[in-house]
Chain A
């Protein structure tokens, strides 16, 4: 049944994920394909669709890989096609200028495996992405795809499957970290049918694209994970809930389901073992709260996407009040590997309490932005400074925000914190689905809290009072503080209301909504005080509290700031000094970002009275 194509001599993998596509990788793919077809060369082009560019390094996309030579080209342009074809496809030459440039050593690196960005990564959930064509089920099968399904159907009882997953210690990658095996066991125990298997692909955290990449780049791994669970709990129907903004994920997932049906992995009498299971895609309408499991189920049922009280768990009464296992995309992608390689192997990776790996989208003020998969227990410092290459322009690291909008900010004192479910929660943040936003000294922590609260105010479902009204009022106070209207007692009031939300809100969204505020107060209380008492924003972000001036001692008179200023508010003479006209200044901060001598400073409004 499984037919493999003959292995081509050379394979050119062109990243066609959303990130690279935006940088015109489609033209590179078409160009290379055309050259190869015309010349009849012994290579075949395989498009690899992956959200963030090849293996996550979207920062340097578009990416072209040539196998088996293990060449990794980044920042490729359509005009490079001819040269790549002539030198690296027809011949075995390497085009040095297209190789990855290591910013710390200044050296060009041939294989991506030797780069700082990839060296420390460990790919389990992302094992196939960037290596296979997501439109090809054969590519997936070639890399052990559907072997785990075959294994459970032929050699394992449902109980053995559950035991294996439980022993592996796999915890839900959607954020809460609930043990997956325990969830399956609880659902299998309930003697009510039908049962359902649901995949949560409603990734809504700003800056997060882990799940999208998996659904785009390796949809079969999700399908196989769900199949294995369906076998374990005795379900015949599954749903994949994908937010409608993820056009490519929807397309690739739909195509993968169709392929899987054709090959007999879905439908009736799967692999002639008597198992029946099929999966439907449900498109989400874009509400952040629909990533909450019970709101998601309400949405699948066609009701308003609001969470319900969860004193009775979804494993007992979930979708249409029937026992339901809901897991996140990344969790599903881990399942087939655990079955294939065993719980012991999985436990050997990561930390004691959080085995395995976690995918993060590393974004913000960091040199190598992109998608990474690292073993749990790795420190934040390794992620940000080794894999991420540190902070651009050698600015100072200030904090890293993890866990999405309702996560928290972790300061530099905790850079050596091991990243796993429990230590992140202890620090006042959380794992969340894996967003990781790096912030430098030019980030205002009060403004960060205000930004996230604004997001949550719009995305709360509005059903319960603490979440709807509490976020609204906390946001109002933060807006006041950022605008110089902060009052004595505001910090204490924020803490008080925040504590009420944590305990009294209905769902996870509301309970974690105060995190951005509480964690920034916990670690950056002094910055709040500066805003409230001295009407001063140390980072120079809050416009009402910022007054830029040029330090005449430090200014070298290069005039770059005057060139950059969009309002012509800076005047002066070259090789002498420049000054800012405060009446014209809109505090965009471009002059400060431009100045190489640190001469543009912020004196805040507190000195206004002295003038």
Chain B
């Protein structure tokens, strides 16, 4: 079916999220808690748009609003811009120490906060991506705890988690760099737990924790020699590609 986004006709599938349709059509909608790998969270609300359906006009979050009919979408009305600005202002006060939020604040022409309570020393925006990532890996070592204004991301009872494998997926997906992962002398420290790093069978650089290696092996059935660091994995893929297409020449 065809939906209209900011006046542009866009081809869309039934059930597809508006955000995905917009991105495919090079229409920019800002997001914070969205990751292509972990879609549909709907927490940050930055991706709000207005949807006109018949006589009804309402504000929805584009990352989780499925296309069900031939609607008209407006991504950048004055109302939406004003609300987005408020959301960024709120988040910037909640996580003032994040460069990410500071940039966003500047981008939206917001000045230094004067009226809101600013929570110095805080850089987490509670987007929830880390928790989702941990769940997707299948570990469930971290979760949001408490509720309301005391909500935060933590391991159970804020103690080093018994199940954490130190894979670092949470830190990698974090948009504000709030999750601290330290690596030195062949050790990785995260969530109050220290892991020894094992060397890559390809280049010898320490890259994976013993716990993660065991987990990956159990899950994929691969031999330890086949589990490589990211760089070596890329090289291996490139080699494979070369071998497959070795008789093909570019003209």
Write the residues of chain A forming the contact surface with B, with a CB cutoff of 8 angstroms.
287, 289, 304, 308-309, 311-312, 456-466, 468-473, 476-477, 487, 489-490, 493, 496-497, 499-500, 503-506
Contacts and interface: CB of A to CB of B under 8 A. Distances in A.
B41 to A, nearest CB: 9
A496 B45 contact: no
B64 A311 contact: yes
Contacts of B133: none
A500 B44 contact: no
B176 to A, nearest CB: 13
Interface string B63-82: 01110000000000000001
Given A311-B64, A465-B44, A503-B83, A459 B148 contact: yes
B66 A506 contact: no
**A-B CB proximity, top 5 nearest:** A462-B151, A469-B90, A500-B86, A503-B59, A460-B148
A489 B114 CA distance: 12
B246 interface: no
Given A462-B144, A466-B90, A505 B151 contact: no
B83 A500 contact: yes
A466 B151 CA distance: 14
A470 B149 CA distance: 10
Interface residues of B, number: 36
Contacts of B58: 503
B183 to A, nearest CB: 31
B148 A468 contact: yes
A504 B151 contact: no
Interface of B: 40, 42-46, 48, 58-61, 64-66, 82-83, 86-87, 90-91, 93-94, 115-117, 125-126, 128, 143-144, 146-151
Contacts of B147: 287, 289, 458-462
A499 B64 CA distance: 22
Interface centre among B42, B66, B150 (most CB of A within 10 A): B42
A356 B27 CA distance: 50
Given A466-B86, A476-B117, 6 more contacts: A458-B148, A464-B42, A468-B149, A489-B115, A500-B87, A504-B45
A583 B93 CA distance: 38
Contacts of B60: 311
A465 B91 contact: yes
Chain B CB count within 10 A is highest, among A289, A472, A493, for A472
30 contacts: A289-B147, A308-B42, A309-B61, A311-B66, A458-B147, A459-B147, A461-B147, A461-B151, A462-B144, A463-B144, A464-B43, A465-B43, A465-B46, A465-B91, A466-B45, A469-B90, A471-B149, A473-B116, A476-B116, A489-B115, A496-B82, A497-B90, A499-B83, A500-B83, A503-B48, A503-B59, A504-B45, A504-B48, A504-B83, A506-B45
Contacts of A463: 43, 128, 144, 151
A505 B45 CA distance: 7
Contacts of B126: 462, 465, 468
Contact of B64 (A309, A456, A473): A309
Contact of A473 (B59, B61, B90, B128): B90
